[in-house]
Amino acid sequence: MTKNTKLQELKTNLLNLNNRFTNGEIRKTEILKGAPNYEYKRGVLPIIFSAPHSVYQIRDGVIKWADSFTGALAMYLADKLNCGYMVRTYCANDDPNYEDKENNSKEIKNEYLKYLTEKTQEDDIALIIDLHGASNLHKENVDVIHGKNYTAPKEVTNLIEKHLKALNIKSLSNKADFSGGAVIRQIKQRTGVNAFALEITPSHRKVKEENLQNIESLITAISNFINEYTK
């Protein structure tokens, strides 16, 4: 298969998966049927790609647009790398990544976060990789987010950074605390399981002809990370 055929195939796969997150009619039918607003699948490896912002969210009453293609990427990576996924399939008037910041003891209210926490324990998950769109801070980067309390050990975040940089993807490790980050923080606090987030710049996730090579590099970097992490 030529390089271009491979990239075109990647494009088709990601666009097909992305319909799940953009097709309002499908989502409307699911909501009417009372389906949950997320979809979870365990893979062979105990690693989950999570995409809590795969559809738009409501944070403090304000609509925040989806981190586009993160849902499709989570499902694609899970399938390709024998991992699992947790994706948001429609908005339920909340934001899983913005659960009360100091919520250490209270029960988790957010359905997505609650279910992910339960499954992490039930299914003996070892690592959660939470996929997001990049903040305005580092527009060209795929940054590794672990919060000031290190939701994953430095060896793990250094390893993913190493593989990103090897594929010429600019990356900074971000230990600052930020307004979101509830998924990795709550998973670490409540289950002890390692978690980090990747904040992906639009040029490495939005499926357009000129971005295909970047997206492929990101997928390869994550794949190389998983191979070394599970060795």
Among the listed ranges 45-53, 85-93, 102-110, 122-130, the one in contact with Zn ion (CB under 5 A) is 45-53
Site size with Zn ion, rule: CB under 5 A: 3
Q: Which of residues 127-156 bind Zn ion (CB under 5 A)?
A: 132
Smaller CB separation from Zn ion, 64 or 162: 64
Residue 42 or 132: the one with the smaller Cβ distance to Zn ion is 132
The verdict on 99 binding Zn ion (CB under 5 A) reads: no
Site for Zn ion in 56-85 (CB under 5 A): 67
Rounded least distance, CB 48 to Zn ion, Å: 16
Q: What is the DSSP letter of 161?
A: H
Task: Give the residue with the Cβ less far from Zn ion, 14 or 55.
Answer: 55
Smallest gap from residue 30 Cβ to Zn ion (A): 22
* Residues at the contact surface with Zn ion, assessed by CB under 5 A: 53, 67, 132
